[in-house]
Amino acid sequence: MALIVQKYGGTSVGSPERIRDVARRIKRWKMQGHQLVVVVSAMSGETNRLIALAKEVSPNPHPRELDVMVSTGEQVTIALLAMALQDLGIKAKSYTGGQVKVLTDSTFTKARILSIDEHNIRSDLEDDTVVIVAGFQGVDEQGNITTLGRGGSDTSAVALAAALKADECQIYTDVDGVYTTDPRVVPEARKLDRITFEEMLEMASLGSKVLQIRSVEFAGKYKVKLRVLSSFEEEGKETSGTLITVEEDTTMEQPIISGIAFNRDEAKLTVLGVPDRPGIASQILGPISEANIDVDMIIQNVGHDGTTDFSFTVNRGEYARALKILEEQVKPHIGARAIEGDNKICKVSAVGVGMRSHPGVASKMFRVLAEEGINIQMISTSEIKISVVVDEKYLELAVRVLHQAFGLDKAPA
């Protein structure tokens, strides 16, 4: 018998029929003797409907009141799921964030969880009851309703699993796990049986949007065993999804690379002929950050003749604004020679904890790309990741050849 926290997202509970499906799935786990805490999101579309209604009344809704309103989305789902379980003869009880209680700070619309009172949940579990908790929400010290921000239901589930010391936290979604790369780009992409938190973080932040990054960080920090599963698989045909663990897999030959991630939503900017002196990076990026533009990769090479070139990437939607800031505020101020930019680029990354102990991954990656005539524009590396920026038109080709070169299309030995 295990204590399992399950989380079902908006699509999984998107209709009365889907909610009854989820209830049947929960019943099967329950009948195996497990204790279950189930976290749910609002039915798909409901949060957007509520926000639209708020904006009809107030163009810029007060954050406290927006949270009061938006939190009703999950409150409806918990009640519906509890009803559906009771109809199947399973004892079930719903809890809002405030009822649990999930204590957060008072940062309305993007609150952080401070603590979870597991007292009531424990006594329900001992009473053989399935506990249904509204994701995405909590209360602050004063009893005000707060929400955790978009995707916060994953975080609610992981936080509950940590507080309850659950054996596993299962995130049900519309895909059946984490893949070596996007199957729409590489049909040979394989589902991974397991992946480390660090790898998952790199994969997620690079565009594999299976899990909210914040929940993965949280799970890593509190050593919660996290599993990604599909809620759309038929009874009897369920797979075991992908397990995200703290430990590297030492029971088998460690693959060098776990996956190829990519992001086509990037643009690159370069400040040419920058005086090579201390403080120049902050003079360039200060105005960008003040304009609330997130910067991704940052590259500065060694200079010569007293000047250097400084490059960075931003979200493609911010490209025009960033370019304008560099031209108008940065270039005259620091005396740079010219500003260049390109919004037809993409980023391709090889991710894997195995590269720590395997030298030569970078050179293999560069060679494979060179053999296809793909020019590398920027390079950035971390402990477990190598990212390159290439022309957008090479994205599919680059991902495909790297996926094959690192043997990801073959099952591990």
Query: Where on the chain is the footprint of its own copies (CB under 8 A)?
Result: 16, 19-20, 50, 53-54, 56-59, 61-62, 64-66, 68-69, 71-72, 75-76, 78-80, 82-84, 86-87, 93-94, 96, 98-99, 143-145
Cβ proximity to its own copies: between 58 and 289 the closer is 58
Q: Which is nearer to its own copies, 83 or 376 (CB)?
A: 83
The torsion angle over the Cα atoms of residues 13, 18, 20 and 26, rounded to 10 degrees, is: -60
CB nearer its own copies, residue 51 or residue 362: 51
Q: Which is nearer to its own copies, 42 or 322 (CB)?
A: 42
Positions of E strands within 203-306: 226-230, 242-245, 259-275, 295-300
Shortest separation between residue 152's beta carbon and its own copies, angstroms: 18
Q: How far apart are CA 88 and CA 18, in angstroms?
A: 15
CB nearer to its own copies: pick between 80 and 169: 80
Q: Residue 145 CB, nearest distance to its own copies (Å)?
A: 8
Q: How far is the CB of 79 from its own copies (least distance, A)?
A: 4
- Minimum distance from CB of 38 to its own copies (Å)? 14
**Which is closer to its own copies, CB of 61 or CB of 207?**
61
**Rounded distance between C-alpha atoms, residue 61 and residue 51, angstroms:** 9
Give the shortest CB-46-to-its own copies separation in angstroms: 10
Whose structure tokens read 């776990």? 258
b/e code 328-345 from CB counts within 10 Å (16+ = b): ebbbeebebeebebbbeb
Helix and strand element counts for the chain (H, E): 14, 18
Q: Which is nearer to its own copies, 53 or 281 (CB)?
A: 53
Q: Is residue 358 classed as helix, strand or coil in its secondary structure? A: coil
C-beta of residue 10 within 8 angstroms of C-beta of residue 41: yes
Distance in Å, CB of 93 to its own copies, minimum: 8
Q: Which residue, 82 or 113, has its beta carbon nearer to its own copies?
A: 82
We find the least distance from the C-beta atom of residue 20 to its own copies, in angstroms, to be 7
CB 386 within 8 A of CB 340: no
Residue type present at position 111: A
- Taking the complex as a whole, how short is the minimal distance between the CB of residue 232 and its own copies, in angstroms? 19
Q: 180: which residues sit within 8 A by CB, 6+ positions away?
A: 186, 189, 190, 192, 258, 259, 260, 403, 408, 409
Residue in 171, 168, 81 with CA at minimum distance from that of residue 130: 81
Q: Do 4 and 167 touch, CB atoms closer than 8 A?
A: yes
Q: Is 164 exposed, middle or buried (0-12, 13-18, 19+ CB in 10 A)?
A: buried
CB of 173 to its own copies, least distance (A): 21
Q: Judged by CB, which is closer to its own copies: 22, or 336? A: 22
Which residues lie across from 348 on neighbouring strands? Answer: 262, 388
What SS3 state is found at 354? helix
